[in-house]
Structures are given as structure tokens and as C-alpha cells.
Amino acid sequence: MMTMITTMATRMTPMMTRLAAVLVAGLVATAAHGQDFTHADDGMPWCDTLEIGSAGAVDCALMPADVLLNFAYETGEWESILSFTQHDPMTGELLDASDPLTIESVVSAPALRDINEDGAPELFIPYITGNVNTYYYVWQADEAGIYYPSGELGGFGVDAFELRDGLVITTTRDSAATYYETAQLLDVDGFVPIYEMLINAADGSCTITDGSGVMARGLDAATITADCEAGLAN
């Protein structure tokens, strides 16, 4: 059976070849690890093929580089429990398993994006969506490609996060006219807060509410707020 699948894979497109390889790995892993590895289950999609709005708490997988990330949800009445496991995509070997993660009301699937442009994508696992804001558990990869937890981010979505002068900038809606801009540095130990700023689009004001990391970063609070207010005036 495995010989037949491998032979077929050599005749497929690159995307189909990758999928066939994962299915082969699933067959191997099912025998070796039982329920530890579930991507071979019929119908489990890749997370990045799921449409926002119907992708919340749906079992799926991602494969950055040489690690297969598997997301399996157990859905309850008010929340879901996520089992996040990492596998060798060719053998199905279990490389790492997270503690159970609580997922509340979400509409999107886990996603990958290189938010700090270091060449390795970070993993964003949505855990709650409210109004226009979604909050994520953020994981980054170590030198071996294994992902580990690095903190949380919230905002309008993964694609809306911005890298500005080496800082990860996120925006969360507070009311119809006000929102918060948060600046953080992502290093190997996780996120380091730099500042949080309240932006009032109605009166054109910007106020830093937490500037605990501004001086250490060599920034000036007055310059940050002045640039913000100038942007609102344009």
C-alpha cells in the first residue's frame, strides 16, 4: 500500500506530492502512535485553505519547513479545547505536544506569518474573537523548527499586524472612535512591551497609557504621540 502511494506521488504536482507524503506519514504514524497523529484522518484540511467565518475550531494542519503542525479541537457547549501537536512529516514521529489550550468563540484558523521578518514564520492560534478584535496565542520556532509559546497578541487580524522599526505594532478597537496601538519587541524569550497608546480619532489626540519600554528602546514618548497626531490630521 505504501509503495503504491509513494509511486503515485512521483507523478503528481509539487503540492499534491507534499500532500501524498503527509498521507504516507499518517499511515506510518497511525501504527506507531495511535491517536497522537491525526492528519491522515479523512477530510482534515490544511488550515490556510479554510475560509474566515467558518474556520473556527476546525481540525486542520500546517506545515512550515520540516515540521507538521496538527490542530485537533474538542468542542464543548461554550468553548473548545485544542490539542496542538508537532510531528515529523515523513515518519509521523511526535516531536512535541502542548498543554491543552482553551479556545473560545473564534472564526479563523491557526495561521503562519513571519511577523518579525527573521526568516521563520511565527504561529498564530486564535483563541477569542469579539467585535473586530481577535486575540492569538503566538508561538515561534527554535533552531530545530519546533514551536514554543512566546506570548499573545490582539488586533484586527494577523495580516493587520505591522513591523515598524523592528517593533511589532498591533491595533485593537476600543470604541467607535478610539483604539489602542501597542508596540512590542519579539525576542527569543517572547514579547517585550514597549508602549501602549490610546488613539482618539474623534478629537485627533494620541496618549501613551503605558510607556514602560520607551526609554530602554531609545525612543521619545513626545515624538511618538506627535507623529501619531500628525497622521490623524492628514
* 129 SS3 class: strand
118 class by beta-carbon count within 10 Å (0-12 exposed, 13-18 middle, 19+ buried) = exposed
Q: 114-140: per-residue pLDDT in tens?
A: 999 999 999 999 999 988 999 999 999
Residue 138 belongs to a domain with what CATH number? 2.40.128.460
pTM of the model: 0.81
Of 106, 132, 157, at which residue does a domain stop? Answer: 157
Does residue 31 sit in the same domain as residue 2? Answer: yes
Residues 209 and 116 in one domain: no
Q: Which of 140, 157, 174 is the last residue of a domain?
A: 157
Show the domain range for 201: 161-234
pLDDT band at 21 (very low <50, low <70, confident <90, very high): very low
Percent of the chain clearing pLDDT 90 (strictly above): 74
Tell me the torsion sign for CA atoms 174, 179, 180, 181: positive
42 and 122 fall within a common domain: yes
180 with 127, same domain?
no
Same domain (yes/no): 141, 198 = no
Number of domains in the chain: 2
Question: Is the pLDDT confidence value at 217 over 50?
Answer: yes
The pLDDT assigned to 17 comes to 35
Residue 228 to residue 165: CA distance in whole angstroms? 15
Q: pLDDT tens-digit profile of 33-75?
A: 334 444 554 468 999 999 988 888 999 999 998 899 999 999 8
Which of 151, 126, 157, 147 shows the shortest CA–CA distance to 65?
147
